Amino acid sequence: MISWINTLSASQRAWILIFIDSLCAVATLLSGFLLKYPLQELPAIITHFGWLIPLVVLVRVITFRSSGLYVFLWRYASIKELVSIVKAVTLSSLYIMAILFLTEGKGFPKSVLVIDWTLNIMAVGGVRIGLRLYRDYVFSRKQLANTPKNKVNTIIIGAGDAGEMVARELLRVSSSKYNIVGFVDDNTHLGGRNIHRLPVMGTTKDLSLIVKKHKIQEAIIAVPSGDGKTIRRIVSECEKSSLHSMITPALHEIIDGRVAVDQLRKVRIDDLLRRKVVETDVSSIARYISGSSILVTGAGGSIGSELCRQIMSFSPRELILVENCEDHLYQIDLALQKIPKGKSRVTPIIADVKNRARMDQIFQSKTPDVIFHSAAYKQVPLMESNVQEVVLNNVLGTKNVLELAHDYKAKHCVLISTDKAVNTVNCMGATKRLCEVLMQIQARDSDTKFSAVRFGNVLGSRGSVVPLFRRQIEQGGPLTVTHPDITRFFMTITEAVRLVIQTGALCEGGEIFVLDMGDPIKIVDLAKDIIRLSGLEEGKDIDIKYVGLRPGEKLYEELFFSKEDLKETPHKKILITRPYAFNKEEVHRDIEVLLDNCMLQESSTQKELLMSVVEKTQPKKVQKTS
């Protein structure tokens, strides 16, 4: 029967429920008469009020349908759905009572309606619970043949809602390899209690003793709201007890309120760095993106592609993808085709931001309302030996985009910057600092709202340290770290882009926004985490090798020149740096000389000239008269 039901469409299942509810309506009303009147009087009563039976059926079905009782997935029914049944039956009974009051049925006995109301709740709710129980029973019987002979003793870490859902799902699916022994939770008030007849055995501090006593082999970490520090501590406790650990998704990943068995996965490095979910002001973002023409440069890069994905959720009129790498453009265009677009149009364009004529052609034909400029070279050591190219791509490319945004009267233009622009010692960071300077110069006399967003390393982006470490592990090691004390700021791509889009709604013109990156992380700690998460042991299975700082690399990065120069915004994770005074005409003139120098390929003086221009833009606080 269950296999037959699974072949039915949603509308077919709804019609079956409507038929069953109609029978329930007739049965409960007749039962109300039967309980109220002697059996010999029933024929006369039914003859007199017989017209009410089809009316009750019609009112019940219409009310149930409008209350959504035919769109629920009843195999996941809970108290919430039963409350919906009570509300729907009560509402339909009130409608019936109102109809009786307004018609010749004023003399209808109210006690029959009360009995009918009670019985109908029991019947309608009972049918749905019965269908779920029958489905679970048949499903479990069917799964018995596939039940693993040797289940793995497993403990669930976290006795909250997520832990309860995991336990319920695993107990329901008999083919699961997990034999749930119980829970641990750091909330001491839960100790000794039972969830689905499984005990809360203690806290994570008791984990090693519990593991030994019950011969536990695996742990499921069900703490979706836990931050990176919490997850790191729990994983460390599991490793001390030689437990293989799985994890439920983070809170923002659980979109339907369920934690299913197929959502369990191995602990990833971003779980250990997990940060609280970024809250954005959706309405303010929608105001400047929805229905607008949005242009993203570097659309196929790590930041650019995530920008495109998130922008699509705000229904722009058109999303223009500008990218000079054919493969990257193809991949992001392919990915966006899988996203429901509605009325949004996606236009992929191969173009190089250094080519002013080509970019002018794009701006003229598309006249974008909002520009996110993320196209840039970013590899620090590589750019130290390619000064000419990083200056032309980053500085000239940005200059072209900024000027065209002004010329074609775009409403917003957001520049993606980096922490390497602060107190820079390398060419890549120096070019990004000049991009910030060009943005501030352009913003001075423009109606376009220009801004820059400065943040650190993005976890898992192309060319970042995490993919490098994974490749080195696949090759058998060693993992190369430049210095034992080197630190970096890290943020997930999703979080960084969410905040970048938010800054567009906050800018008034000329601001450099700084994202709260949290605390810096030692790269060597990151390497050790990845080794452990790969099931390996440092020094035994794979080594860490210190190779020395690379050209242009610093031990630590900074997000701002001085903490006192930061100003808060309405968003707690976004700050604004105070602007610094510099001779704008002189700096602008020097940048033109630098660009001319690079186009003429006078390589011997390019780096010195670049650094000398940047030096003129270093902190010298703006005076009120400037």
Active site residues: 420
Sign of CA dihedral 176, 178, 181, 184: negative
Is the CB of residue 611 less than 8 Å from the CB of residue 430?
yes
* Helices within 182-314 (DSSP H only): 207-214, 228-240, 269-272, 282-289, 302-312
CB 267 within 8 A of CB 246: yes
Using an 8 Å Cβ cutoff, are 390 and 427 in contact?
yes
Phi and psi, residue 479, nearest 5°: -85, 125
Count of positions (residues) in the chain? 626
Q: Both tokens of residue 485?
A: 């004390």
Q: Which residues contact 600 (CB under 8 A, 6 or more apart)?
A: none
Dihedral over Cα of 414, 418, 424, 426: its sign: negative
Q: Reduce the DSSP state of residue 139 to 3 states and report it.
A: helix
* Sheet strand arrangement including 511-515: 345-350, 318-323, 293-297, 370-373, 412-418, 449-455, 511-515, 574-577, 566-568
Q: How far apart are CA 61 and CA 92, in angstroms?
A: 9
The span from the CA of 443 to the CA of 290, in Å, is: 24
Say whether the peptide bond before residue 478 is cis (omega within 30 degrees of 0).
yes
Distance, in Å, from the CA atom of 410 to the CA atom of 405, rounded to the nearest integer, reads: 5
Euclidean distance between CA atoms 108 and 110, whole angstroms: 6
| Contact (Cβ atoms closer than 8 angstroms) between residue 431 and residue 386 | no
Token pair, residue 602, equals 């006078």
Give every CB contact of residue 182 below 8 A, 6+ residues apart in sequence: 155, 156, 198, 199, 200, 201, 210, 214
Residue 345 β-bridge partners:
318
